[in-house]
Chains A and B, each alone.
Chain A
Amino acid sequence: MVNPLLMLAVALGVGFIFAWLRPYAKTAAWTLLYGALVFGLAVSIQWLTHFVSGGVSTTVLPGGFSPPVGIALGWGMKEAFISSIVFLGGLLGSIALFKTWRDTPSAGPVLFLLTIAGSIGLIMSRDLFNLFVFLEITSMSTAGLLATGRHHEGAVSGFKMMLVTGLASVLFLIGTVYLYRITGTLAIDQILVSPALAGTAGFTASFLIIAAILVELKIWPANGWALDVLTSAHPVIAALISTVHSVAILFVFYKIFPLLPPDSLLIFTSAGLMTFVSAHLAGLRQDNFQRMLAYSSVGMMGLFVTVITWTSSVYGHNIPIRIESIILGGFIITHLLAKGGLFWVVAHFKDSEGNFDITRVGSTTLGGVIITGLILALAGLPPFPSFWAKWTLIREIAASSLPIVFVILLGALFEVINLFRWLGRALEGESHCAVHAPPVLSGIALFSLGGFSIGAIFLGWFPDFNISILIPFSGLIAAGLVAFLPNRIQISISILILGLAGFALVPGASGIGQAYTAIILGSGALMLLTKMEAANKDKWQLPLIVGTVLTVAVLGAVHTALEFWTSWEMMTAVSALLIVRGKNAKKSALMYWTFSMAGAFLLLAGLALAVSATGQTDLSKVFAGAPSLSIILISLGFLFKAGVLGVHIWVPDAYAESEDDSTPYIAALVSKAPIIGLILVFYYAADAFIGPFEWRVLIGWIGVLTAFFGALFASFQEDVKKLLAYSSMGQIGYIIAVIALGSYTGWVAALYLALHHILYKGLLFITIAGVISRTQTSLMYKMGGLIKRMPLSFVAVLMSIIAISGVPPLPGFGGKWMMYSAFIEAGWTLQAGVAFFASGVAFLYLYRLIHTVFLGMPKNEHINVKESSIWRLVPMYIIIAMIMGIATMPKLLLEPIMNLVQTRFPATMHWEAANLISSLGSWNGNAIMMVTMGVFMLPLILLLFRVRGVKRVKPFNIVYAAEKPERPETTHVAHNFFAHYRRAIGVIALPRATAFWRGVAEWTDTLGDWVRQWATGNGQTYAVQVLLFVSVLYFFMRQTAL
Chain B
Amino acid sequence: MYIATKAFYLFVSIIVALVWGLTVNGIVRKIVARVHGRIGPPVWQPFIDIIKSNAKRSMIAHGVMFYFGPVFRFAGGLGTYVFIPAVFGSVVFENLSFSGDLLLVMYFIFFGQLGMALGAGEGGHPASAIAVGRGLAQMTAFELPFALSIISLATQYNTLSITDIVAAQQAGVMSWTVFTNPLATFAALFALLGMNMHSPFDIVIAPQEIPLGPPTEYQGSLLGMLHTNRGIFVSAKLILFMNLYFGGALNLPILMVKTFAIYMLSVVVGVAFPRFRADQSIRFFLGVPTVLGILALLIQ
Contacts and interface: CB of A to CB of B under 8 A. Distances in A.
Contact of B96 (A805, A915, A931, A951): A931
Interface stretch (B33-41, B117-125, B242-250, B259-267): B117-125
A348 interface: no
B100 A928 contact: yes
A1010 B277 CA distance: 53
A939 B71 contact: yes
Contacts of A848: 133
Interface in A430-444: none
A977 B220 CA distance: 30
A980 B75 contact: no
Q: Which of A787, A823, A847, A919 has the most CB of B within 10 A?
A: A847
Contacts of A923: 100-101, 103-104
B87 interface: no
B208 interface: no
Contacts of B286: 984-985
A980 B161 contact: no
A890 to B, nearest CB: 12
Sort chain A's interface into a size bin.
35 or more
Interface in B139-195: 139-141, 143-144, 147-148, 151-152, 154-155, 158-161
B98 to A, nearest CB: 7
A829 interface: yes
Given A829-B155, A949-B221, A985-B286, A921 B279 contact: no
Interface string A783-815: 001011001001000100110011110000100
A460 interface: no
Given A840-B143, A851-B121, A927-B99, A980 B136 contact: no
Given A833-B148, A936-B72, A943-B71, A787 B65 contact: yes
A921 B101 contact: yes
B62 A922 contact: no
B60 A830 contact: no
Interface residues of B, number: 81
Contact of A924 (B62, B98, B118, B125): B98
A920 B59 contact: no
B59 A951 contact: yes
B144 A958 contact: no
B79 interface: yes
B2 interface: no
B73 to A, nearest CB: 9
Contacts of B122: 787, 855-856
Nearest to B66: A855
Q: Give the interface centre of B72, B130, B154 by most chain A CB atoms within 10 Å.
A: B154
B197 interface: no
Nearest to B142: A840
Given A836-B147, A939-B75, A946 B154 contact: no
A920 B79 CA distance: 22
B107 A946 contact: no
Contacts of B70: 939, 943
Interface in B242-293: 277-280, 282-283, 286, 293
A36 interface: no
B121 A802 contact: no
A785 to B, nearest CB: 7
Contacts of B103: 816-817, 820-821, 921, 923
Nearest to B78: A935
B5 interface: no
B233 interface: no
Nearest to A956: B124
B107 A808 contact: yes
Contacts of B294: 830, 833
Contacts of B88: none
Given A821-B160, A935-B75, A946-B59, A837 B129 contact: no
A951 B61 contact: yes
B221 A985 contact: no
B25 to A, nearest CB: 19
A940 B71 contact: yes
A832 to B, nearest CB: 5
A931 B82 contact: yes
B282 A984 contact: yes
Contact of B136 (A785, A788, A843): A843
B225 A928 contact: no
B111 interface: yes
B104 A813 contact: yes
Contacts of A855: 65, 118, 121-122, 124, 129
Given A821-B160, A851-B118, A857-B124, A927 B98 contact: yes
B227 interface: no
Interface in A827-863: 827, 829-830, 832-833, 836-837, 840-841, 843-844, 847-848, 850-851, 855-858
A787 B72 contact: no
A953 interface: yes
Contact of A856 (B57, B59, B110, B121): B121
Contacts of A903: none
The B contact surface, by secondary structure, is helix
A824 interface: yes
Given A807-B110, A946-B220, A985 B282 contact: yes
Contacts of A955: 62, 123-124
A973 interface: yes
Given A847-B117, A943-B225, A980-B277, A840 B139 contact: yes
Contacts of A857: 124
A163 to B, nearest CB: 69
Contacts of A942: 221, 225
A973 B130 contact: yes
A851 B139 contact: no
A928 B152 contact: no
A449 B79 CA distance: 65
B63 interface: yes
A803 to B, nearest CB: 12
Nearest to A819: B103
Contacts of B222: 943
A436 to B, nearest CB: 54
Contacts of A813: 104, 107
Contacts of A830: 294, 297-298
Given A928-B104, A978-B133, A985-B286, A798 B59 contact: no
A817 B101 CA distance: 9
Nearest to B105: A808
Contact of A833 (B78, B137, B159, B297): B297
Contacts of A958: 125-126
Contacts of B93: none
Nearest to B222: A943
Contacts of B63: 787-788, 952
Contacts of B9: none
Interface of B: 54, 56-65, 67-68, 70-72, 74-75, 78-79, 82-83, 96, 98-104, 107-108, 110-111, 114, 117-118, 121-126, 129-130, 132-134, 136-137, 139-141, 143-144, 147-148, 151-152, 154-155, 158-161, 220-222, 225, 277-280, 282-283, 286, 293-294, 297-298, 300
22 contacts: A787-B122, A806-B107, A807-B108, A813-B104, A830-B294, A830-B298, A833-B293, A833-B294, A840-B140, A847-B133, A855-B118, A857-B124, A922-B101, A923-B100, A927-B96, A932-B75, A943-B221, A953-B61, A955-B124, A958-B126, A980-B137, A984-B280
Interface of A: 785, 787-788, 791, 794, 798, 801-802, 805-808, 813, 816-817, 820-821, 823-824, 827, 829-830, 832-833, 836-837, 840-841, 843-844, 847-848, 850-851, 855-858, 915, 919-924, 927-928, 931-932, 935-936, 938-940, 942-943, 946, 949-956, 958, 973-974, 977-978, 980-981, 983-985
Given A840-B139, A984-B278, 10 more contacts: A813-B107, A823-B151, A833-B151, A836-B148, A841-B140, A850-B118, A851-B129, A924-B100, A928-B100, A978-B137
User: 6 tightest A-B contacts by CB?
Assistant: A921-B101, A955-B124, A921-B160, A855-B121, A836-B147, A984-B282
